[in-house]
Structure 1
Amino acid sequence: MLPAATPRIGITAVGSHLPARRITSQQLQDEITAHAKLALPERMLEKATGIRTRHFAADDEYASTLATAAARRALAARGLDPGDIDLLLFASATRDICEPATAHIVQSELGTRAHALDVSNACNSFLNGIDLARAMILAGRARRALVVTGETPSRAMRRDPADAAALRDAFAGYTFGDAGAAVIVEPVERGGILDTATVTASEHWQAGGIPGGGSRHPRGDEYSYFRGGGKELRGIFEQIGPAALAALAERTGLTWDDYARVLVHQVTAPYLERFVELTGAPADRLVLTVPELGNVASATIGIQLDRVKEQLKPGEKALMIGLGGGVSLMTMVWEAS
């Protein structure tokens, strides 16, 4: 927990945004199997993932579009103008373009003049962004930060697999949906972010991801699709997760009973059920989003926080648990003020 003399930095406003287009898992399955010329059982994708629907960005919507819409809602919730922000972090697994940073595109749309940069660490990007914003405020480098994410992982989904082998290789990507989220981070008189920690197992960086767009594979559509073993990633998190949560409990003295809400990254419904089984997390304190939204990457926890923030009373705590390819696990304890 924070030493008594440490200034308190908190999350004072939240916003989120979902693109209008909504499709069912069966509609997605029909599209995929039409290309692969496969006959799959009715609702197989939904039954395997627990995802009923998800939202897809329109052709003229981008990661910055979703982030900007969420940012405007967060600013409005706090009663702030864009000019009140002096640090803008675009923290996302998705970006509009390779260069410049997508933060500049969001900033241009909002009309801020803040220090702007990108933070990228797969599905942990948003939590990492909040942590970085807090650190920069504590260091005196910023007064008030806007942390945004815009996720369009549907663009990395292989929706035209040639055969059964290609479908299996791309299957983890069929959990994806698109969304945006944003938070205001600034000093608070009480509560705030009480604890953060990360566990990183980078030896597993090849377990899943999008290989294209960098210096290894700068061109070629074949590298632009998400590839990865969902079971492998799940196994890695099962190895590192319990120890990370045990260390959190020992460090803070907090147990599951001390959290009013538990916000955890959600990939599929079976994975979430396994998380509850493995950790003993109280299922009734989770904020279930995966059945209606799918895996919205780093926007997951932001959307969950947006849905519960106003329900939390001053002094009540939420535990955020982020899981990201690479591989990393992050915990953040936040107390409502």
Structure 2
Amino acid sequence: MPAVVRLSLRGLVLAGLVMGATVTTAQADVVPGGEGTGSETQVEGDRKGENISATAGAVVFDRTRNGAGEAAGPVTAAARWTPPACYYAPKYTPDQLQKHLEPIWEAESTGYQWDAAQRDRYVKGHPYTDFNKDKADEGYWWDSYVTAGREGQPGALDCDKPIFWVDENNDPPADIPQAVTPEILAQLAYAEIRVPSTEVDLAPEGTTKVNLPTWAWLDAAQFKPVSVTASVPLLGIEATTTAEPVSVEIEPGTPDAETYPASGVCDIRNGRIGEPYAKGKADGTPPCGVKYLRSSGDDSYELTATVTWKIEWTGTGGAGGDLPDGDFGATQDVVVQEIQAINR
């Protein structure tokens, strides 16, 4: 697991000034506010009006141990579970919050009553005074972020708490369940997991015969555990989410077929899914495969192979546990022909 270094907010701001307010990460994705994609991203401290503290307080994804390639894709969680659509994390220093809010108040676009309530909250001591400038070296202002790709989806606007202060090295208020923690990071990393395609090798390949057992297997070299680490360097917390393949389900694409085993679910054994066909096994029963009972005619059947991935996480302070299993599948066409009998 990558090491995490805890730095003070002042140290991070000064570091950003020394570096020209630019942070570069190799093979990792710094995501201010949960935005941005790619395995290598350069984040400028002043981009979109954000500055180095927002970058430092952002979620960083390390995808160096993730699945890759054009055919790789995200898993679909069981029971319609999804990672959080929004969360809270550090965003502003006192000066930055002032620069963010005062133009809004001066524009008077949000109404006098709302503006007055905001000034009362952040300036006039109910509960904060002068944006907490007297505590500038002791903590950060936290605000909500929308998870990348979840904009406009249900839950994206659920993080509607007003901007709040958290002292450095303290936990956020207990009544804010979406405040970023190792477990929240693990869930965000879940959404970044990519696993390889599940197109199976078949024997016979492409075209098979009615009532002939067709062997199916998957290249075990592709089906190894993958993982993504999410961290917030400013807080010194992280979590690694790992997906490990456990089984593949074969769906023939027609009810006129039998699967091996009868459930259609082939467990992964000794790092292998199914068994490659070899000469001399034609009369045997494949440990993973299908037997079609009717010709596909001038068309083909669409066979689907779906791999189930067991997903676990570990995080800062020894935290960890299970997350919902994830599925990822692919389809392929199989032509099934009648066995031609020759009459003499």
TM-score if structure 2 supplies the norm length? 0.25
Q: Which of 1 and 2 has higher RCO (CA within 8 Å, sep 6+)? A: 1
The structure number with the bigger radius of gyration is 2
